[in-house]
Structure 1
Amino acid sequence: MELTKEQIQKVEHYLNVKDITFIDVRLEVLDHIISDIEEKMQTEKLDFETAFNNVTVKWNKHLKHSSSYMFGVMFSVPKIVLEKAKKRFSNWFFIPFPIFIATYFFIEKSSYILSETAKNGLNLFFQISSICTFIIFLVLFILKLKNKTSTTYSFILNTQSLNLIMALILLFDFDYLTKNGTLDSIQVTILIGFIYSTYTYFHFYKKHKEAIKKYKIS
């Protein structure tokens, strides 16, 4: 038994109320809910309203707004979107920590071995890198802001936009050498973190655009 246009519109309104506006999730959830309602109407001989209420009660727990430490408690989305985002982002979240720790201790050790010329050269290289990375991140951030379409990946991008704070730290304290003339291991580690976050942002921006293209939303 297929639903009428008006009945489908009611299901769509339900998804709007639940904030299921993420195109890569909405169509899938819409199809599932419609199928569930049609099955109940056919097998249990229920009218649409009763079947709709029964099915939405089951789906409410999946569409309830939730947050995660992985993205920050200030970012809340429907649970089904959050779980998909966590699955896509988990590796990107955990992998960099050992890299940052290794970078810190490597810089701490090498800064006492390098010559003054090498230190000055690295300082200039790090300064140029921080400026270039900031420009790339800022361009991607602006492009993301101009695109109003929501996907699971756009949610990830929203949470990662806070990494611009790292850029402000880098640009505020632009010298990668300490007063003692050694490389500032904390500053260099922050730079590596910002470069990694910029690459991460670029990766998920591409995924966001691919999702929009896949669902033919311009």
Structure 2
Amino acid sequence: MKLTVEQIDKIDVILDELGLEFLDIKLEIKDHIACQVEENMSSGETSFDASLVYVLKYWKSKLILRKSWLISNKKSFPKIVIQKLFKRFLIYNTTLLFFMILSFYFFQNYKKGINDSMFFSKYSTIIYSCFLAVYSVLWLKMYFQKIKTSYFYQFKQNFYLLFLFQFYMVFLSSASINYLCFSLILILTPFQLHTFYKHQQFINKYQLKCN
């Protein structure tokens, strides 16, 4: 038995109230819940409201608000959101840590050459600012789409980190700081571009479906 638009909208409202703000994850969960409700109603003996209550009991443990230091130490998310983001953030943080250690090792071994290099003393801040300007344009594009996705959230987290390091480059300018910031933005660039691509891919599919 197919659910009506009004019934699907009711599921949507409930998920909003439970803190599922990322549209990509919310739509995935909404589809699962709708299918389970339809399956319960297929016998014709159970009403929509009764089926929805039954299915939400099954999802209750997955929708409890939790915090995760890996994702955010200030904000709570439904447990299932944390589970879906955990692997993504774990891969990102592990890769970032690995390459930053390699970068630090390189700096320690070639510190004298970097200190004497005109490239790092004069142009690293400019190059960093250019990268940050590109990310600012991408951030604004996603922001004005007014659709929150888990990819946009991840992009924002990295963008704020890069924006913070911009101040270190300007006010604490040194070869070591410039090298650290320059390495950071190079390491984060593949993640940022991939995250932006995944966000746009979802938006395009969502808008195509709506039209």
| Category of TM-score, reference length = shorter chain | 0.7 to 0.9
The amino acid across from 1:155 in the alignment is Y
| Secondary structure at the counterpart of residue 117 of structure 2 | helix
Task: Tell whether 2:90 aligns with 1:63.
Answer: no
* Partner residue in 1 for 2:167: 168
Counterpart Cα distance in 2 of 1:158 and 1:64: 24
Counterpart Cα distance in 2 of 1:215 and 1:25: 12
Within 5 Å, which residues of 2 pair with 1:46-125? Answer: 46-112=46-112, 114=113, 118-125=116-123
| Secondary structure at the counterpart of residue 67 of structure 1 | strand
Counterpart Cα distance in 1 of 2:181 and 2:205: 36
Residue 187 (structure 1) shift: 4.0
The amino acid across from 2:58 in the alignment is K
**TM-score, scaled relative to structure 2:** 0.83
Counterpart Cα distance in 2 of 1:115 and 1:3: 65
8 Å CA contact retained: 1:85, 1:156: no
The amino acid across from 1:149 in the alignment is I
Counterpart Cα distance in 2 of 1:42 and 1:89: 39
The amino acid across from 2:124 in the alignment is F
Residue 21 (structure 1) shift: 4.1
Q: Unpaired segments of 5 or more residues in structure 1?
A: 177-183
Q: Compare CA radii of gyration and give the structure with the larger one.
A: 1
* Partner residue in 1 for 2:8: 8
Residue 143 of structure 1, aligned match among 135, 141, 145: 141
Within 5 Å, which residues of 2 pair with 1:172-183? Answer: 172-176=171-175
TM-aligned CA distance change 1:11 to 1:189, over 3 Å: same
Counterpart Cα distance in 2 of 1:43 and 1:85: 36
Counterpart Cα distance in 2 of 1:129 and 1:5: 51
Deviates more, 1:81-90 or 1:26-35: 81-90
Counterpart Cα distance in 2 of 1:5 and 1:140: 34
The amino acid across from 1:105 in the alignment is Y
The runs of 4+ residues in structure 1 deviating greater than 4 Å are: none
Residue 197 (structure 1) shift: 2.7
Higher relative contact order (CA 8 A, sep 6+): 1
**RMSD of aligned alpha carbons:** 2.6
Aligned residues with identical type, % of pairs? 24
Residue deviations 1:30-88 (CA, integer Å, cap 9, x gap): 22212212222335933322221111111122223333222221233333233222333
Counterpart Cα distance in 2 of 1:131 and 1:23: 31
Structure 1 or 2: larger helix share? 2
* Partner residue in 2 for 1:208: 199
Counterpart Cα distance in 2 of 1:88 and 1:41: 36
Deviates more, 1:74-83 or 1:100-109: 74-83
Counterpart Cα distance in 1 of 2:133 and 2:114: 30
Aligned length: 208
TM-aligned CA distance change 1:53 to 1:171, over 3 Å: same
